[in-house]
């Protein structure tokens, strides 16, 4: 008997699992600056500035400001401004507003993302085989409402329900986000649900902790995933391999 025959639901992470960032952060910050006649900011400084600014915002206003009832655009405006300041670019208010609008619009579109070629076929295959498909992501509302639809990853044809941290106020690796997913799927038993994601800490471990089955996806051949594979956990390179693994007869559960 295959594992597929024992499942009723599959949940999937988004970034690193279904889609990936295209290019570098600096590309979009540079284009935004150049669009109003400014020189291109230094890529490395902007990247480091953003990492620090994002970490600070996530700590002070988690889940994109959910608990503080901070509007999404305000959260990102604060983060982007701090990114520039940390990188040494303290624009005046009018200049920053123009640059920020371009950045915010870019990351709210399909432009910075690419869908892995096996993502849509896998999701459709799962639904065609009678599985409920859910998305669990540490992302804000634009992933659900704008970005995924713009990329052709649509609710109704590729997935049935979504659990997004910016809309729930809970983010991975908090196990509660997985419990929300099980409820949203129709209170399906965790052992009848498989979660697929690319992070050991945010996907694999917390999904397992609530009783779900889990697969670690390792598209980029990381050393951490290799160590996990050697320890006997299920680590697969892509969703084609996941499909093969799910349909393999006599797979142990």
Task: Give the contacts of 222 (CB within 8 A, at least 6 positions apart).
Answer: none
236/219 Cα distance (integer angstroms): 8
Cβ neighbours of residue 60 under 8 Å, at least 6 residues apart? none
Calculate the alpha carbon distances from 67 to 56, 104, 172 in Å.
16, 22, 16
> Quick one: 33 exposed, middle or buried, by C-beta within 10 A (0-12, 13-18, 19+)?
buried
Q: For residue 252, what pLDDT is reported? A: 47
Neighbour tally for 210: CB within 10 Å: 16
Give CA torsion, residues 100, 58, 110, 201, to 10 deg: 160
Residue 21: strand pairing partners: 113
Tell which residue, 107, 99, 97, 93, has the closest CA to residue 41.
Answer: 99
Q: What is the pTM of this model?
A: 0.93
Nearest alpha carbon to residue 29 among 113, 104, 86: 104
Q: What is the pLDDT of residue 251?
A: 42
Residue-level pLDDT at 253: 45
Residue 231: the pLDDT is: 87
As averages over each run of 10 residues, the pLDDT of the chain (253 residues) reads 93 97 94 96 96 97 97 98 97 97 96 97 98 97 95 97 97 98 98 97 97 96 87 93 89 45
**Which residue, chain included where needed, has tokens 């006649």?**
37
Q: Would you state the pLDDT for residue 16?
A: 96
């Amino acid at each position: 008997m295959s594992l597929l025959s024992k499942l009723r639901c599959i949940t999937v992470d988004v970034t690193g699992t279904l889609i990936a960032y295209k290019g570098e952060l600096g590309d979009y910050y540079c284009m935004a600056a150049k669009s109003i006649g400014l020189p291109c900011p230094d890529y490395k400084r902007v990247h480091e500035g953003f990492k620090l600014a994002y970490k600070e915002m996530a700590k002070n206003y988690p889940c994109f400001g959910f608990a503080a009832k901070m509007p999404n655009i305000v959260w990102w405006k604060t983060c982007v401004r701090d990114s520039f300041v940390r990188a040494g670019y303290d624009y005046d208010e009018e200049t920053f507003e123009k640059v920020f609008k371009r950045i915010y619009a870019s990351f709210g579109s399909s432009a910075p993302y690419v869908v892995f070629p096996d993502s849509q076929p896998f999701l459709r295959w799962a639904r065609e085989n009678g599985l409920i498909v859910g998305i669990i992501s540490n992302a804000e509302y634009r992933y659900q409402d704008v970005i995924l639809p713009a990329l052709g990853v649509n609710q109704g044809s590729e997935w049935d329900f979504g659990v997004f941290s910016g809309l729930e106020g809970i983010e991975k690796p908090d196990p509660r986000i997985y419990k929300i997913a099980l409820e949203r799927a129709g209170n399906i038993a965790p052992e009848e649900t498989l979660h697929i994601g690319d992070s050991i800490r945010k996907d694999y471990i917390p999904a397992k902790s609530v009783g779900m089955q889990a697969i670690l996806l390792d598209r980029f051949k990381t050393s951490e995933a290799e160590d996990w594979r050697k320890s006997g956990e299920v680590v697969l390179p892509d969703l084609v391999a996941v499909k093969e693994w799910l349909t393999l007869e006599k797979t142990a559960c």
